[in-house]
Amino acid sequence: MPSLTELKALFGISSFRTSQENIISDVISRRNCLVIMPTGMGKSLCYQIPALKMKGLTIVISPLIALMQDQVVRLRQLGIDAGFINSSLSKHDRLQSYENLKLGKYKMIYVSPERFRKEDFLEAIRDRNISLLAIDEAHCISQWGHDFRPDYTKIAEFRKILRWPTTIALTATATAEIQKDIIRQIGLNEDEINVYNEGICRPNLYLDVQTFVDEPSKAEAILELLGEKKESTIVYFNLIQNLEKFSEKLDIQKISHKIYHGQLPPDQRRKIQNRFLKSDDTILLATNAFGMGVDKPNIRTVIHAELPSSLESYYQEIGRAGRDGESSDCHVFYNQDDLTVLMDFIEWQNPDEVFIARVYQMMEQLGEKLSSLTYEELQSKVVHKNRGDHRLQTVLNLFDRHGVTSGDLEKNSLTLENKLPDALCSKEGLDLKKKTSLKRLYQMLLYLKSEKCRREFVYTYFDAEFPGCGNCDICKNATGSDFTHTLP
């Protein structure tokens, strides 16, 4: 079994940061941990090093295919027997991975939580000794987390299937409420898990907010800023159509850039991401489909061209800047139209129990004809004339995640499998989820309009100890200097 010194050398680190060593020691000693640690501070080492010190298999639950692949590529480059199983694999490769699991291969295997629905996967790990379960991006566990996915709420069931392995959950952002919900969803009491809250301190990030009376003046200001940029920059948009319109403006100005969003083919998205990671001066226009797990140290600027939906999303996204510790700028450009779009998003993302039941009943009536319909044809049957109503897409996602349906509408294979679960019939539960989204958006607006230190506002929101500012627009503008408080 390799020593910690040998493992540090393997991963190319001379010393541990903050509480890394204590977390690693706890996990090796089979103590459960919840880790809240700023982006870029080395959360993955907190489970990867213990995985190599413990005898059995480590299963890592991860939310994104790209995130799994990036981690596995790096581990294999270090000579570590790691793998992933997700929908990007061909049937042949997936079956081979299952066989490898049965034969005792892999020290670490990365999967999405939905993989636990698959009998082939459960059979493959049935006789394996699972020493560690790691849950990356653990805010997804909580129903109040900003990337909520229903299968993440089944972690307690997964732990039972795996015969109660040591568990570590990791995230960059979690309010006190979300921390408690994560622990509950894992199936632990608060005295059964050690919580390491490293705060959200990123003193090298300059936080800036600018408001505009209309869209043209906002676009002009962003264009002017990008015309000055010669280093890696991400510009985030909420709507693909707005991203593409802004791309046209950059083309007219002859400002080189790339675009990334969820409607691009997977191969194209991978190529764009890889080019951005290797470049030192690319401007990337992206939706929030880009970013989670992207480890590029020298992103100098993150611009939100439209209002983020929550402080959680905002802080995750600006956390991609300045991972090398060098000064980086984070701008929010806002006008009133952004709020209207996000209010529509909240309506689309929170269909009520009546609409959910209507979609289910329509699918029941269609029977075998369901698999032959296009999305537009099904949409016309449940929302009638309003094609701008995107609630159907949310319902289809919910049905898939709750196991109500299987297959895919686009591939003409969608079928009903089960009755509606209580969670999708509860008016009280659905209303509470919508109110939570509205509350988070309201907090984002308060941040924009705050007249006190922006960094202090963020720390207060995340229940983190405020170490002092020195890098937000309010503090700088108040004194005309770079610092109003002294960081320790």
Residues 352-374: pLDDT tens digits? 999 999 999 999 999 989 989 99
Residues 150-202: pLDDT tens digits? 788 889 999 999 999 999 999 988 888 889 999 999 999 999 999 998 877 78
- R_g of the chain computed on alpha carbons: 23
Closest CA to 182 of 224, 147, 152, 211: 152
Alpha-carbon distance of 275 to 87, in angstroms, equals: 23
Q: Would you give the DSSP letter of residue 63?
A: S
Same domain for 136 and 254, yes or no, is no
Alpha-carbon distance of 76 to 204, in angstroms, equals: 32
- Whether 123 shows a pLDDT value over 90: the answer reads yes
- For helices 336-349 and 427-449, give the axis angle rounded to 10 degrees: 160
What is the residue range of 405's domain?
350-434
- Paired with 329 in beta bridges are 206, 301
Domain ends where: 197, 222, 248? 197
Residues 273-293: pLDDT tens digits? 889 988 888 999 999 878 766
pLDDT score, position 147: 64
Classify residue 294: in a domain, yes or no: yes
Same domain for 176 and 223, yes or no, is no
- Buried residues in 281-291 as b, exposed as e (16+ CB within 10 A): ebbbbbbbebb
Same domain for 85 and 193, yes or no, is yes
Q: Do residues 471 and 455 lie in contact, with contact meaning Cβ atoms separated by under 8 Å? A: yes
Same domain for 264 and 396, yes or no, is no
Domain ends where: 285, 311, 341? 341
Residues 440-470: pLDDT tens digits? 999 999 999 998 899 999 988 888 778 788 7
Structurally, the chain folds into a number of domains equal to 3
Supply 151's token pair.
């299968």
Task: For residues 26-40, give the mean pLDDT.
Answer: 92
- Whether 479 shows a pLDDT value over 80: the answer reads no
Same domain for 211 and 293, yes or no, is yes
Domain ends where: 341, 372, 400? 341
Alpha-carbon distance of 140 to 147, in angstroms, equals: 5
Same domain for 24 and 99, yes or no, is yes
Residues above pLDDT 70, as percent of the chain: 95
pLDDT score, position 480: 52
Same domain for 70 and 144, yes or no, is yes
Supply 123's token pair.
């059979």
Assign 483 a pLDDT band (cuts: 50, 70, 90).
very low
Residues 389-405: pLDDT tens digits? 889 999 998 898 788 99
